[in-house]
Structure 1
């Protein structure tokens, strides 16, 4: 039996220039109608969640309603009943992330360093939601959207009433997603077969120990990324945790590195797109339309290339954040992309450091 390479040798092999070129290669178009239907559902969900909440007596909660509605992104290849169960689980995770993180912010407001505990909670949310999704076999986009919901909840919280309002907004968005998926299910083809990209590794059959290990890896990596970013003076440390959590999902080191590279390039380009859009000074309704269009484009392109998907999902997320908490400046996207890229780098380091001998042996038989 050949010797199992160490962590440095494993990372060097994963970062080989031929592997990096492969990570940027466009995949053949597969299941286009399924992706288009998911995009239309996601775009319509964002449009309705943002618009209806803006017209309600609680317009400042539009961002949290939109987060709940983003559960439409899940289960696109599942039959309707199975997909509704997936939406229910992801909706509970999203609402729980919003509520728990908001409570952490409220309880930490009197501390000398109030953001540390909420950042740890974001890491816990990342690890727990990843473990739940691995256990239940819930696929893309994985726990990243739930972690984004936790990160978006780090804004100031004045009282338990504020926590309740955020939570109810998230619930309303998740319920809207369920109704929307049921009503528009005919947009999807009757035969739903998830695409298998060329050269993709075979999926692992998770056992209890592997599930726990995956959750712990994401928890440690996301928490460390958030705290390091905060200690470095980052203005949006939660985005570092989001970047690390996205990289750490899955069990294959090469997939981690590929995804990290694609996320870095797509996020950087998407931040520049967002900066340009914010510089236009769009009013609320034009911004909502842009967010909806970006949702559709993301779902249509992400099957071909994760980087292309990130190029549109990043400005979408930044615009939603701007609607929830206006910054008044075009520097917001560039600050957040720097924090996200820091999280990506820390996520790669955590992937290598926390890799097990069995994982390294799996990729170097």
Structure 2
């Protein structure tokens, strides 16, 4: 037991090698910064969350060869846009919160299976759950669909252009190395079921215990079960919880300043850079940057009292990580039992 706790603690505080993270951070800064600047200039920063979700496409394939990276980003970008549209549909239909939770949980399971087979990096459905859940929580009308499609697709296309330019500048090869898709076996189904169940239970708990911003609980649970084995999942859960708590303190300071729109944009880009410098090295440190970034974008899209926003972020994250950790432990126990 002590040895297991030691492995978890070591994993929580370990910082991985830099590995060219500055290039990914630069791509991410341009991918999110330029769309936000355009929205600022036309006075529509209320649409910034859709641009940010589209820009998440730039975060995929950081370790892959250029051609595969662009293809992965295009696929992920398309799924992110579809996730936003799905969430918008749930909002426009005034779907009950529990119904939205069920739909987003099914989406989480489906994307997890797809990402495993396509060997996505980063793996899993975390970004799609965030995109669908957040959009399901924003007020929407029929006109919103066009805005989501326009802003989301434009942001994805811009991200692909940024990635392509970086490849050309670095004289990268466009040759596509052969790689088979991962077979759908017991591991893939276990991951799919674990993510789906964790997302569903966390979302239901978030709705029943807190009510608002239930998707943060789902995101927290999906993050907590995202590792390849139970130790990695425990590490990730602890990192998300601690990083979120520190990030909320930073967000509280930023929100208290009542920053002008241009300053919010600048802060968002800085946070995006910080997140990408560490997300592949220490998830907890990355969450210190991701948390204020998410809260700033949510506050622009759906203004709310800062105190309520910060409180919900903490409580929903605690719920999500707790549920995700329990599901991860139960899943590991069931896997060991079936192997006997």
Residue 179 of structure 2 corresponds to none
**Cα distance change on mapping 1:281 and 1:353 into 2, 3 Å:** same
More off after superposition, 264-273 vs 348-357 = 348-357
1:1-365 equivalences in 2 (<5 Å): 13=1, 16-31=4-19, 33=20, 35-56=21-42, 58-109=44-95, 114-140=96-122, 142-185=124-167, 206-355=183-332, 357-359=334-336
Separation (CA, whole Å) in 2 of partners of 1:61 and 1:312? 21
- CA root-mean-square deviation: 2.4
Cα distance in 1, alignment partners of residues 307 and 333 from structure 2: 42
Offset at residue 310 of structure 1 (A): 0.9
Q: Which has the higher helix share?
A: 2
Q: What per-residue deviation string (whole Å, max 9, x for no partner) do you get for residues 320-363 of structure 1?
A: 1111112142441232122012100000111122336445788x
137-146 vs 341-350, greater mean Cα deviation: 137-146
- Check 1:330–1:184 CA distance in 2 against 1; reply closer, same or farther (3 A cut): farther
State the SS of the aligned residue for 1:221. helix
SS at match of 1:243: helix
Q: 2: CA distance between counterparts of 1:360 and 1:49?
A: 50
Residue-pair matches, total: 332
CA distance in 2 between partners of 1:279 and 1:315 (Å): 12
CA contact (8 A) 1:84 1:178 kept: yes
State the distance in 1 between where 2:197 and 2:18 align: 35
Unpaired runs of 5+ in structure 1? Answer: 1-12, 192-204
- For 1:164-205, what per-residue CA distance to the aligned partner results, in whole angstroms no more than 9, with x for missing partners? 3223321111111111111223576969xxxxxxxxxxxxx6
Secondary structure at 1:154 match in 2 = helix
Contact kept, 8 Å, 1:244 with 1:347, in 2: the verdict is: yes
Aligned partners of 1:275 and 1:334 also within 8 Å: no
Q: 8 Å contact 1:14–1:254 — kept in the other structure?
A: no
Is the partner of 2:210 in helix, strand or coil?
coil
Cα distance change of structure 1 residues 234 and 107 upon mapping to structure 2, 3 Å threshold: closer
Alpha-carbon distance change, 357 to 14 in structure 1, aligned in 2, over 3 angstroms:
farther
What whole-Å deviation, never above 9, does each CA across 1:237-283 have from its counterpart, x for those lacking one? 11000000111124311110011011111111011111111111111
SS where residue 48 of structure 2 aligns?
A: helix
Q: Give me the whole-angstrom Cα distance separating, in 1, the residues matched to 2:211 and 2:247.
A: 19
